């Protein structure tokens, strides 16, 4: 399950783990104008862990989800 919320300065996507046990903590994705953050509570450290991606890194990740193993570089679309 996931939720999508539109805040003033970000779109917030929350991914809820509904699979078989053991369940993992929710993943929260915040998309801003210039970056994307991915956060998840870590019960081992009792802290929120956050990774920040540039929009370029996010585009690469999006493309990588549909590609086989290898090394790639995205090119701008031809106009």
- The answer to the question of residue 71 being in a domain is no
Note the pLDDT of residue 19. Answer: 80
- The answer to the question of residue 68 being in a domain is no
- What is the full per-residue pLDDT of the chain (79 aa) written as tens digits? 889 899 889 999 998 888 888 789 999 999 999 999 999 999 999 999 999 999 999 988 888 887 788 888 878 777 6
- The answer to the question of residue 73 being in a domain is no
- Among 55, 52, 29, 31, residue whose Cα is nearest residue 40: 29
CA distances to 16, 56, 62, 72 from 67, rounded to whole Å, are: 25, 17, 10, 9
Provide the domain limits for residue 29: 2-63
Structural domain total, the chain: 1
- The answer to the question of residue 19 being in a domain is yes
- The answer to the question of residue 24 being in a domain is yes
- The answer to the question of residue 77 being in a domain is no
Note the pLDDT of residue 31. Answer: 93
Note the pLDDT of residue 69. Answer: 80
Note the pLDDT of residue 20. Answer: 80
- The answer to the question of residue 74 being in a domain is no
Query: Which two structure tokens, joined as six digits, stand for 2?
Result: 């996931």
Note the pLDDT of residue 35. Answer: 96
Q: Could you count the other beta carbons within 10 Å of the beta carbon of residue 26?
A: 15
- The answer to the question of residue 38 being in a domain is yes
């Amino acid at each position: 399950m996931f939720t999508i919320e539109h805040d003033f300065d970000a779109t917030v996507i929350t991914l809820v783990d509904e699979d078989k046990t053991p369940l993992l903590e929710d993943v929260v994705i915040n998309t801003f104008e210039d970056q994307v953050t991915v956060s998840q509570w870590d019960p081992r450290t009792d802290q929120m862990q956050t990774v920040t991606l540039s929009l370029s890194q996010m585009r690469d990740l999006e493309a990588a989800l549909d590609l086989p193993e290898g090394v790639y570089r995205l090119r701008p679309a031809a106009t």
